[in-house]
Structure formats: C-alpha cells, structure tokens
Amino acid sequence: MTRDPSRPDEKPFRVSHSRQEILQDLEKLIREGNLLGADRDPAIIDGAEFDRAVIKKKGKGSRFLVRKVPRRSTLLRLWFRLFENAILPCALFDGLSARIHEFEHRETLLLFSRDRILYDAEIFHGEESVGELTLSFASLRDPATGIRGFFSRERLRVVYIEDIHLTAQKSGYASALFRHYERFFHDLGFNQFRLSASLSVGRYYWAKEGFDFSEGTESGKRKAELRTLVRERGLPVREIEIGRLNHAYDFARFRRELRIPVYRDAEGFYSSKADARFREEVSLPLGKAFLLSSAPWEGYKTIYASTPRRTGLVTSRKYLSHRTRRGHVESPGRLRLLGKAIEKGGLRRSLVALSPYVPDLAFLEEIHRAEYLARFRASVRKGEKIFATEDCSISAASFDVALLAAGGVMAGVDAVLNGRVDNAFCAVRPPGHHAGRDAAMGFCFINNVAVGAVYARSVYGVERIFILDWDVHHGNGTQEIFEGDPLTYYCSLHEHPTFCFPGTGRRMERGTGAGSGFTLNLPLRPHTTDAELMETFEREVVPEIERFAPGLIMVSAGFDAHERDPIADLDLTDESFAYMTRRICELADRYCSGRIVSVLEGGYDGTALAASALVHLKTLQGRSRECSSERE
Ligand SMILES: [Zn+2]
C-alpha cells in the first residue's frame, strides 16, 4: 500500500483479501507467539509490565491474565470489524513495526480483546531497549451520526496511542514513527489517529497544547489562564496577542516562543511558584513550563481525521447578533440555516473549529480610512438604523460583529498559514466585498476578504494573493482596494453590471497603474448555466491563476449566483460551486501547498445557500469526486 505524500489526492492502492488468506496469516502469528487474547479490556493496562513467561500483565494494582489464543471465529470477526479485508495480519505487523532510523520493535504482540486489538512492542536502538509502545485499534459508534448511524451501522475506526515511553534522547524517533503511522493508518481507512495525552516526546511534546477544542468556552478558559499568568509574571505580552489565539494550535505556538522561569525540586518535579521545596530556577518555554508544572490531564489529541484535507471552519454565534431590519435578505437566519446543514450533514466532527477574534482597530486602518471606521462606530453607538445607505441596515452590535467578521477571516488565515489546517471556510457576516476604503454599501461594512489578504501579506509575508470572487455581484469594494496592487490579483465572476447591482465590473476594468492587468472582471449574462460558467472558468480564470502563481488563494464565496437566489438571475446549481472549488483546490495544490481561505459573502435563499456551502466545504475537504477537467 503505497502513497506519495507530495500528492495528497492520490488514492492508496488497495487490495482485498479473502477470509482464508487472513486466517492463514493469523495462524502464522499464533505459531510465532505474536498473537494472544486478553480476558479484560487491555485499555486499562496503562503503564503495565508484560511478563511473557506467565502471560500476564501487571499493572498498578490491576492485573489481568492473558488467555490462550481466542477462537478463530472471534479473531476473524474482530479483524474484519477493524481492518475489513484491506490488509493481511502479517502486513499489518510489518507496517506497525517498521524499522525507522536505527530503531526497531521487538517483543511485539497483538492482543485481541472483546472489542479492540492491541499492539504492544518494546523499542530497541541497537541492543539497547529504549522504550515501549502500545497502540489500540477500536471501532466505535459515531455519536455524531445519532440514530441514523445506529441503523446504518456506520462505525468510526480509531487508532489510539495508549502509551509510549522513550528515553529523552530518542525523541526524534517518535516524530518519525508518527509520520509513518499517520500515513499508514490513513491508507488503511482509519477515521482518526489519536494520541494519549501523557506523551512528551518530539514535536508531540505539545500534545496537551495541541488538544483540539471545538468549544468557544474552552478557548475562553485558556485565554483567562494565560491572562492571569501574564499578569502574575509581568510577561511582555500584549492583550491583542492573547485575543488572537483562538485555537489550541495557536496557544501551542505562542507558548513555545515565550520563555519563563519555573522552579525544580530535588526529584525533578516542577512548580510555577518557588517555595521551600521548589528552589532551582530554570527558564523554559511557556508551554513546557505549563506542562511540567501542571497536574496530569485526561484525553487524546486527534492527529488526523479521515478527510483527505484538513479544513477549518470559522464561525461564531456572535455573527447572529448583527440584526438587520425585518424582511431584509441579509438576515441572521442565513447563518443559522448553514449551521444546521453542517450539523445535519455530519460535517461538524471532521471540520477543525476555529473561532474568530476581535482585530486591532489600528490594523483595520490599513484597509479602511480611520475616519470611516470612526463614523461607522459612531452611527452604531448612536443607535441609528442604517449606515451610509438604505440597504446597510444596522443594530446595536453591528460594529462589533463587523469587526469580528474581519477577525474571523484573520483567524482562517492564521490557521491556514501556520499549517493548522490545509484550507478554511469563514462563515462570517456581515459580508464584505462591496465595502470600499471609505464606503459601506450592499450590506457590507468592512471588507473581510481584503482584511484577510492584507493580514496574510503583512504578518505571514505571503507575496502574491489571488482573490477569486464568485458572488453574483461585482465586488467593487475589493476591486477598489487592490486595483493598483500588482501583488493582489482580483478576479470576479458576476452577473453583468447592466442588469445587476452594483453596476460595476465591466471587462475593461483591468486595474490601474502598477496594478494594470491584475484585475479581471468576467460579467455573465442573465440566466448563465453551469456549463457556460464552467467554460468561462476554464477559459479565463484558470490560465490567470496559472500565470500569477499565487502563494495563497482567497475566495469571496457568495452563493447568490444559485438559480434559487431571490435577488439575482443566474441559473447556477451546486455543481458550479463544486466544480470551481475542485479546480482551485487543484491549482492551490500546485502553486501554494493547497492554501485556500474562503470567505462567505452573499447567498439569500437559505436552502440554496446551505446546500451550496455544504458542497463547497466537502470539496475543500477533498471528499467529492475528482475533477473532470480535460486540462489536466
Ligand atoms: Zn452578492
């Protein structure tokens, strides 16, 4: 089973094996003394010592006897449940115990329990025993699928690293082994590879820090802890830096870079406070200091989920509190419906949840005039019902929510550019692409996608950014902001300005000054179909992305070009959105390591919006079928 890591879309080569072949292999492992059954759930033997002579594990107080080999029918049943017929037992054994660098596994054993299979090995470096490893394979009912999953018998197949001990100097081995395992289990079709939290080796030292949390309250708690620590220690950290942390991964990075003093006792335990016992001062990165001086914790870190690409979803309940007047098409209901569709579609678990943060106002002034932002804030604070134009309906929270929408895109950029996810979709509102440097219009106040692009350049040094805007309306605000900039390409597909708001975006608008040739407008006639759109996309958009070779692709993803949309007249279906998403994923793979940050703009038929955005998300995850383009 081989797979080239540089080509993430390549499907692993999979063979089916017969029951007879699997049984033969199991017999071979039994003859060699590598397969046994356990009479209790082996998951509880954490830290136990295995004594082959008496075939029992001695744990802390608890011990269990390993019985003789289980019945063949039991072996086969469990084998099929966990590995189907994708791999033979001996091949599994070889894959698990692969020799990496100078390290090898000996004393290897497969333990069959009632509902899981355990792999246990001692790790050797030459003749020296340097550690132990215990993995367990389980097939669980997926709680996310609810009653439907119960009837369809959908199962979640998970590999847990129950235990790994290595002498400190050998830590590089764990990283190499896990990289090997990540691919191996992925190719075997496992849904998740999870790491026991009690691990502290190599890059996985940050296991606790890297814990996925999808609850906003969890990141809030961590921020509060961090603020307390910063205050207590007088650390040189700005509030905005803490505000920007919205995911476990960001906390990990942050904590790695900041060193603080901790205190060690005679036995090598650490405390964050000095006292009679903890006397020796040591300077450690914040994360390590936290980890070493805190109590043990429970849980596992998910190293990967089963989708080919890791996709982040930025959203927040706070986006609902920008209220528009009754009957306004840009309503909180849009995001509510989208959230429900994601839940119902069973996507929630496979998406990496990212929370938005409130950006520095000073940073937003790089995109919008300070005076404009002040005017917008004043209008909201005064309790006005509209700002600037009739269609820009506002409520008490609008200024804060608009800031949070821009900060949502910044959070998406953070996650994509620091490698936390491969790509991200930012389900934010209010939308942004009509907002210019100094103007609100078309339901937009702050240009979210422009903020994201400027942020990606100024903080992460991304040189060339391609913004693809497939909202049915021309993104006049985004065009205005970047039309003189040769490093930010703005390309828009929209209904022809003669028929559609805002009346700009003609072909001859190609950028200004140094930015000439880096704006491309592709007006579409009313009732354009999927086939026509795809044809235009291939003929006009793809060659421009190829020519520009971006370091990041951003999408102004409005879904109002859908045939059901009430405020425009194109006749597109989900197919178009799936198609364009697939194509930009392919181009992003080629030019920028797959990096895409997509930002919700319009889409005013709730059902069409939810369905299209769902297709967009699934395609970003690499779930839907291959692209049918002949260009490849
Ligand atoms: Zn629109």
Residue 471 Cα to ligand 1 middle (Å): 5
pLDDT at residue 122, as a whole number: 85
Tokens representing 70 are 């289980």
Q: What single DSSP character describes residue 213?
A: -
SS3 string, 353-382, reads EECCCCCCHHHHCCCCCHHHHHHHHHHHHC
In this prediction, residues 247-253 reach a mean pLDDT of: 69
Residue 236 Cα to ligand 1 middle (Å): 43
221-227's contacts with Cβ under 8 Å and 24+ in sequence apart are 222/248, 222/251, 226/251
Residue 333 Cα to ligand 1 middle (Å): 16
pLDDT at residue 11, as a whole number: 42
More confident residue, 265 or 282: 282
Residue 442 Cα to ligand 1 middle (Å): 8
**What is the distance between the alpha carbons of residues 197 and 621, in angstroms, rounded to a whole number?**
26
pLDDT at residue 61, as a whole number: 34
Residue 508 has pLDDT above 90, yes or no: yes
Residue 624 Cα to ligand 1 middle (Å): 26
Phi/psi-derived region of residue 277, left when phi > 0, alpha when psi is between -120 and 50, beta in every other case: alpha
Phi first, then psi: what are they for 306, rounded to 5°?
Answer: -80, -5
Q: What band does 536 get if pLDDT is binned at 50, 70 and 90?
A: very high
Tokens representing 526 are 């009313």
**What is the distance between the alpha carbons of residues 15 and 3, in angstroms, rounded to a whole number?**
14
In 3-state terms, what secondary structure has residue 23? helix
pTM of the model: 0.65
pLDDT tens string 68-89 = 677 888 889 889 888 888 899 9
Residue 601 Cα to ligand 1 middle (Å): 6
Residue 524 Cα to ligand 1 middle (Å): 14
In this prediction, residues 277-289 reach a mean pLDDT of: 74
Residue 508 Cα to ligand 1 middle (Å): 21
In this prediction, residues 361-379 reach a mean pLDDT of: 96
Q: What band does 289 get if pLDDT is binned at 50, 70 and 90?
A: low
How much is the CA Rg of the chain, to the nearest whole Å? Answer: 27
Residue 397 has pLDDT above 60, yes or no: yes
Tokens representing 599 are 């930002």
Q: What single DSSP character describes residue 504?
A: -
**What is the distance between the alpha carbons of residues 341 and 617, in angstroms, rounded to a whole number?**
11
pLDDT at residue 632, as a whole number: 28
The CA angle 119-113-100, to the nearest 5 degrees, is: 5
Closest to 235 (Cα-Cα) out of 262, 258, 254: 258
**What is the distance between the alpha carbons of residues 99 and 101, in angstroms, rounded to a whole number?**
7
Residue 208 has pLDDT above 80, yes or no: no
Lowest-confidence region among 159-168, 356-365, 617-626: 159-168
Q: For 477-606, where are the E strands, in sequence order? A: 488-495, 519-524, 552-557, 596-600
More confident residue, 354 or 314: 314
Residue 600 Cα to ligand 1 middle (Å): 10
Q: What band does 346 get if pLDDT is binned at 50, 70 and 90?
A: confident
**What is the distance between the alpha carbons of residues 295 and 287, in angstroms, rounded to a whole number?**
14
More confident residue, 626 or 631: 626
Q: How many residues does the chain have?
A: 632
Residue 443 Cα to ligand 1 middle (Å): 9
- Selecting among 105, 322, 433, 434, the annotated active-site residue is 434
Going 551 to 557 to 562 to 566, the CA torsion angle's sign is: negative
Tokens representing 125 are 């470096």
**What is the distance between the alpha carbons of residues 288 and 168, in angstroms, rounded to a whole number?**
14
pLDDT at residue 440, as a whole number: 97
Residue 163 has pLDDT above 60, yes or no: yes
Residue 557 Cα to ligand 1 middle (Å): 9
Query: What amino acid is encoded at 19 in this protein?
Result: R
Q: What band does 628 get if pLDDT is binned at 50, 70 and 90?
A: very low
Query: What amino acid is encoded at 118 in this protein?
Result: L
SS3 string, 602-618, reads CCCCHHHHHHHHHHHHH
Phi first, then psi: what are they for 351, rounded to 5°?
Answer: -95, 145
Lowest-confidence region among 252-261, 284-293, 510-519: 284-293
Residue 278 Cα to ligand 1 middle (Å): 61
Residue 283 has pLDDT above 60, yes or no: yes
Beta-bridged to residue 119, according to DSSP, are 110, 135
Query: What amino acid is encoded at 631 in this protein?
Result: R
Residue 49 Cα to ligand 1 middle (Å): 63
Residue 518 Cα to ligand 1 middle (Å): 22
**What is the distance between the alpha carbons of residues 244 and 298, in angstroms, rounded to a whole number?**
26
Residue 99 Cα to ligand 1 middle (Å): 55
Peptide bond between residue 430 and the one before it cis (omega within 30 degrees of 0): yes
**What is the distance between the alpha carbons of residues 89 and 80, in angstroms, rounded to a whole number?**
11
pLDDT at residue 239, as a whole number: 81
Q: What band does 117 get if pLDDT is binned at 50, 70 and 90?
A: confident
Residue 387 has pLDDT above 90, yes or no: yes
Lowest-confidence region among 100-114, 398-412, 426-440, 512-526: 100-114
Going 131 to 136 to 137 to 140, the CA torsion angle's sign is: negative
Residue 480 Cα to ligand 1 middle (Å): 16
pLDDT tens string 449-458 = 999 999 999 9
**What is the distance between the alpha carbons of residues 28 and 20, in angstroms, rounded to a whole number?**
12
CA dihedral 249, 551, 368, 426 (to 10 degrees): -50
Residue 433 Cα to ligand 1 middle (Å): 8
Instruction: Please answer whether residues 556 and 470 qualify as being in contact, where contact means their C-beta atoms are separated by less than 8 angstroms.
Output: yes
Q: What band does 6 get if pLDDT is binned at 50, 70 and 90?
A: very low
Note if 165 is an active site residue.
no
Residue 213 has pLDDT above 70, yes or no: no
Q: What band does 347 get if pLDDT is binned at 50, 70 and 90?
A: confident
Residue 555 Cα to ligand 1 middle (Å): 13
Task: State the chain's mean pLDDT as an integer.
Answer: 81
CB atoms under 10 Å from CB of 32, counted, come to: 11
CA 430 to chain centre: 23
pLDDT at residue 205, as a whole number: 37
Residue 171 Cα to ligand 1 middle (Å): 52
Query: What amino acid is encoded at 99 in this protein?
Result: R
In 3-state terms the chain splits into helix, strand, coil percentages (rounded to 5) of 40, 20, 40
Residue 544 has pLDDT above 90, yes or no: yes
Residue 233 has pLDDT above 90, yes or no: no
Closest to 92 (Cα-Cα) out of 201, 190, 11: 190
What stretches of 271-332 show up as alpha helix (H) in DSSP?
Answer: 286-292
pLDDT tens string 16-59 = 788 899 999 999 988 887 776 654 444 334 334 444 433 334 34
Peptide bond between residue 502 and the one before it cis (omega within 30 degrees of 0): yes
Q: What band does 526 get if pLDDT is binned at 50, 70 and 90?
A: very high
Burial of 631: CB neighbours in 10 Å, binned 0-12, 13-18, 19+: exposed
Q: What band does 209 get if pLDDT is binned at 50, 70 and 90?
A: very low
**What is the distance between the alpha carbons of residues 85 and 20, in angstroms, rounded to a whole number?**
11
Q: What band does 292 get if pLDDT is binned at 50, 70 and 90?
A: low
Closest to 356 (Cα-Cα) out of 321, 309, 393: 321
Lowest-confidence region among 136-150, 442-456, 558-572: 136-150
Q: What percent of the chain lies above the pLDDT cut of 70?
A: 78
**What is the distance between the alpha carbons of residues 463 and 551, in angstroms, rounded to a whole number?**
6
